[in-house]
Each structure stands twice: as C-alpha cells, then as structure tokens.
Amino acid sequence: MGNEEIKTKITELLAASAFDESGEWLNITVSSQDWFSFASQLRNDETLYFDHLFCLTCIDFKTNLTMVYHLSSTKFRHNIVVKSVLDITKPEIETVSSIWQTANFHEREVYEMFGVNFLNHPDLRLLILPDGWEGKNPMRKDFEDPINMIKL
Amino acid sequence: MVEEIGNTTEGDLIINVGPQHPATHGVLHLIITLNGETIKKVEPHLGFIHRSIEKMCESLSYRQFIYVTSRMDYLSSHINNHACALTVEKGLQIEVPDRAKVIRILMDELTRIASHELWWGAMAMDLGAFTPFFHAFRERESINDIMEETCGARLTMNYIVPGGLMQDIHPNFQKRVKDFLSLYKSKIHEYDELITGNIIFQNRMKGVGYLSPEDAISFGVTGPAARGSGVSCDIRKLYPYDGYENLQFDEILETAGDSFARYMVRIREMQQSVRIIEQLIDNIPEGDFQTKTKAVLKLPKGEFYTRVETARGEFGVYIVSEGGTTPYRIKFRSPGFSNLSALDKMARGEKLGDLVAMMGTLDLVIPDIDR
C-alpha cells in the first residue's frame, strides 16, 4: 500500500492524527490517550496489518519526551512511524506489549533510561540498570554523573 | 530479585544461570524458575556489559561514532559499520563508488561466514562436542587473516566508513579469498559428517524450543532464528542495499520452528554467502574506493533510519539530527535484544538441559544485547 492509501485509511480510523511526509516513511503523530486503541487498529485491520514492531524508542527533546514506534507489515511490506509527544513532568503512555510482545522488553528499557511510565505494563521493572538504582534516568539530556562519565 | 518473580508455588526451585556461565557466551544472567526439571519461567537480567553506547554517540561526530559500533556485535562488526555508514550517507545524500559497494558486500559476507563458523563451533561445544570448535576455527582463522591484511584488525574492523572505505583492499585480497573458498569447499562436508547427521545431536535439537511464526513476528525475532520458523525477514532480499538486488542468492527458510531448523538455516546460509562471494570476487570494478566528502560531516535536520541484515538478524540505526556535527539522538535496534525476549516463550515447559540448545540456536552476543 502506498503512503497516500495508508493516509486515507488512517484518517478513517483516527481523524485527529497529524501527518509528516518529509522523511523516508509516513510519520503519524497521535496523542497518548488515543495511542492504545489506535495501535490495536493498526495491528488488526485487514488492509493495514502492521504486525511487526521493529523499533521502539524515546527521544528527549528537553521540553518534551517523544515516543517513536516503527511499524512494518510482514504481509504487505509497508512501513510507518508513529509518534506520541509526552509531558516531560509526567510522562505516561499506555503499554502496547499486549499487541506486540516485543514491546515488553523495549518499554522496560525506555522506562529505566527515560523514566516513561507505561500504564498497565505486565512487568515494569529494571532490566539493564542494576537493582536498587535510584536517581535520574541515564538517557535523559540533563543526566550528569561526574564519577562514571558517559559523555566523552 | 527472588520475591519479584512471582507466580511461584510451593516446591518450585529458582536457579541462576550466569552472569559467569560458559553457555551464555558473555555476561548474561538468567533467573530460571523450575518445577522439577521443567522450566516454568526464564527471566533475563541484562546490563552487565552495558556501556551506554547510544549516549556516548551523542557526543561523537559522524566520523567517530563508527568506531564504537564495531564493539557492539563484535562478530558482525563490518555489518554494523556498514549500517552506520549507510545512515550517514542517506542523510548526506552521497553516492558511493561501485568499487566500494562491491567490497562492502564481500566483507559483509565474509563476516557472516566467520560469525556462523564461531556460532557452529561454540554451539556444538555447549552440547558437549569439543572437536567441532577446532574445525570451525580452522576456517575462521583464514577469514580473520584476510581481514587483518586489509583492515588491520581481526575483530573490530572500522573499515567501512561514510563515503566508502577506509582504504583500498590489499593486493593479495582476491587471491586469498579464492584460497579460502577452495579450502572451505573442501571442508564443508566435514560439518555435516561431524554434527548435522549425528543422531545424538539431532535428538537433542529436534522438537526443542519451538517458536511459532506468529510469536516470532510478535516478539520481533529476526534473522536465522525467525527464518527457522518460516518467517521471511531477510533484509538483503526485502529492502536491498548497496547492490544486493543484483546478486543471485536464496533466502533460506525452514518451517519446523525448532532448534534444529534454526541450526539448518545457518548451515545453509553459509553456502549462500559463499555463492555471493563467488559472484563478486572476480568482478570488483576499478575506480575509487571512496567519494570525496567534507572533513566535517553535518547531517541536515531530520530523522534517518537504515536497516541491514547482520549474522543475527535485522540491525537498525536510527539517527535524529538537529543539523549539528553530532547526532542529537541515536538508537541502535539490535537483533539480539528482541531475539532474547522470545527465550522465555520458547523455554517454558522444556527441560533445563535443553535450555543450552535454545540459547545456542538464538546465537546471542551479549554486547549486542546490552549496547
């Protein structure tokens, strides 16, 4: 399916979505409240069928945190990018680990590195950081550790 | 840790495998809940070799960050470098000379063979056979020698850079690769005689660690691990880069979904890599090995994503640029991280002794998982 067709289809599913076509793939921005129902539609719709979540990450833009989901369909081979802008003081978004199981691990990584709280996540615990880690999230832009320097 | 696992009943046994366990091939910690000898749950605990490469890259220039990526999946370091170079080239919109493209593919495929050789030897050793390791390393060493001559390194190559290659190939390169191919072809039957046809080995692999195609896709499993379940996911075929579209090779698919299927995919994939090398080794075009690029690279504002096929699966590089000389945010989508998440699903209900076979056929490289 081409970008235009995906765009028409997605506008039918969720009217409040914003598009950006400057990149390689179609970018869609949705609000964090709409994300879970929108995600299950993307996964289960017969013509879209985005069954492969191949990248899940977060970007710290200092004023907000942006969740980025890269989706692809193993049936139709089309790709999209879905973004959701979160409030930096209280970053919260619904988990999608019930839709794509790979999100379980990736969300745990984002949780500890960026401090995003994934609502209804089955197992939101530290995965990479040592047990008992306290303090700031290491991948945030304002993270400074004078003893174990990460920046070069 | 123990209290957090949950779902344990009276009489369950919790054991730790790793962080220092020979079968994990690195520092990976698995917390396993057992009922008798049956696995109820596998909880990976990562981070023992986490170097925060993504954060480090935020303060490195687009020429410097290549060196760090060799240290992630150190068995596919050429392919990691290749992915990063492609992403930067995509951002700068520069075209690489044909000579560089062909050499890149040759290097990628040699790396793939070397990586699968190591996997084959190490996995057979995990299952109790020590001899195959020496057979695998005999061939792997000659690949390492070729790499050493051209790149100056045996493991962390840093050879593929934005714009082309670091330097031209060594004059001996073509001859030595051909020598390697004839050596490899004269020895390949030994692999099957030693291991593949061995009935003890087959009994330990067949029907162990079943992964359905639906689960493979849902867990984001890619590479030989997914192709063993019949999921077509070879990036070289689906989204070809640097001239893979002009080459004749097959995507290997098996349908059984068990450890033996994943084993067979890798064994047959090595032969496809040989096929690719044979097509290219006599046809390296003359010309430059590099395009002229500016001393300081600046990517335009925007987002760039590239994926390539490493020996372990789909490796993605996601660069967010604000227009400066360093990336604003960089994310490495490593195949090992997603593949490992499927281990729990595969292992439930299996015997503890079979866990080694499952981990072996997932081909985990811990620095690739931790980054």
What per-residue confidence (pLDDT) applies to A46? 83
Query: Residue A53: its chain B contacts at CB < 8 A?
Result: 220
Contact list in B for residue A127 (CB cut-off 8 A) is 44-47
* Partner-chain residue, chosen from A52, A68, A77, that has the shortest CB–CB distance to B220: A52
What residues of A are in the B interface, CB distance below 8 Å? 22-25, 51-55, 57, 59-60, 68, 70, 74, 77, 81, 100-102, 104-106, 109, 125, 127-131, 138-139, 150-152
pLDDT of residue B54 exceeding 50, the answer is: yes
Give residue-wise pLDDT tens across range A68-96.
999 999 888 888 899 999 988 888 899 99
ipTM of the prediction greater than 0.85, yes or no = yes
pLDDT, residue B4, reads 45
Contact B46 A128 (CB under 8 A): yes
Tell me the average pLDDT across B3-30: 73
Q: So what's the pLDDT on residue B112?
A: 92
What CA–CA distances, in Å, run from B173 to B60, B97, B102, B140, B219?
32, 19, 13, 16, 40
Label each residue of chain B as H, E or C: CHHHHCCCCCCCEEEEECCCEHHHCECCEEEEEEECCEEEEEEEECCCCCCCHHHHHCCCCCCCHHHHHCCCCHHHHHHHHHHHHHHHHHHHCCCCCHHHHHHHHHHHHHHHHHHHHHHHHHHHHHCCCCHHHHHHHHHHHHHHHHHHHHHCCCCCCCCEECCEECCCCCCCHHHHHHHHHHHHHHHHHHHHHHHHCCHHHHHHHCCCCCCCHHHHHHCCCCCHHHHCCCCCCCHHHHCCCCCHHHCCCCCCCCCCCCHHHHHHHHHHHHHHHHHHHHHHHCCCCCCCCECCCCCCCCCCCEEEEEEEECCCCEEEEEEEECCCCCCCEEEEECHHHHHHHCHHHHHCCCEHHHHHHHHHHHCCCHHHHHC
Q: In b/e form, how buried is each residue of B93-112, taking b as 16+ CB within 10 angstroms?
A: eeebbebbbbbbbbbbbbbb
Predicted confidence at residue B8, as pLDDT, reads 65
Would you identify the CATH topology of the domain B2-370?
Cytochrome-c3 Hydrogenase; chain B (1.10.645)
Q: What is the pLDDT of residue B29?
A: 87
Residue pLDDT, tens place only, B255-287: 888 889 999 999 889 889 999 999 998 888 888
Q: Which residues of A touch B313 (CB under 8 A)?
A: none
Computed on alpha carbons and rounded to an integer, the radius of gyration of chain A in Å comes to 16
Domain boundaries defined on chain A: 3-119
Q: What pLDDT does B177 receive?
A: 92
- So what's the pLDDT on residue B324? 85
- Residue B320: closest CA among chain A residues belongs to which residue? A59
CATH code reported for the domain at A3-119 = 3.30.460.80
Does the pLDDT of residue B3 top 60, yes or no? no
Q: What is the pLDDT of residues B113-155, one digit of tens each?
A: 999 999 998 888 888 888 888 888 888 899 999 999 988 888 8
Which positions in chain A touch B341 (Cβ < 8 Å)? 101-102, 104-105
Query: Which residues of A are less than 8 Å from B217 in CB distance?
Result: 51-52, 74
- Measure CB to CB from residue B220 to each of A53, A81, A151 and give the nearest one: A53
Which residues of chain B are within 8 Å of residue A106 when distances are taken between CB atoms? Answer: 337-338
Best mutation target among A50, A53, A55 (most B Cβ atoms within 10 Å) is A55
The pLDDT assigned to A151 comes to: 64
Q: Which stretches in chain A have pLDDT values below 50? A: none
In the predicted model, is pLDDT for residue B5 greater than 50? Answer: no
> Mind giving me the DSSP string for A103-129?
HHHHHHHHHHHH--EEET-TT---SSS
User: b/e map of B224-237 (b: 16 or more CB within 10 Å)?
Assistant: bbbbbbebebbbbe
B90 to chain A: closest CA residue: A24
* B232 at A interface, C-beta within 8 A: yes
Task: State mean pLDDT over B149-178.
Answer: 89
Most B-contacting residue of A20, A44, A54 (CB-CB within 10 A), to test interface? A54
Q: How far is CA B240 from CA B73, B131, B332, in A?
A: 21, 37, 19
pLDDT at A42: 86
B47 and A128 in contact by Cβ < 8 A? yes
What pLDDT does residue B362 have? 86
pLDDT at B1: 42
Mean pLDDT of B293-298: 85
Q: Count CB-CB contacts under 10 A for residue B317.
A: 27
- Alpha-carbon gap: B282 to the closest alpha carbon of chain A (Å): 34
pLDDT value at residue B7: 61
What is the per-residue pLDDT for A145?
A: 75
How many beta-carbon pairs below 8 A join chains A and B?
89
- Percent of the residues in chain B that have a pLDDT greater than 90, as a whole number: 23
Average pLDDT, chain A: 85
Q: How would residue B2 be classed by pLDDT, with cut points 50, 70 and 90?
A: very low
**pTM for the full predicted model:** 0.88
d(CA B46, CA B62): 28
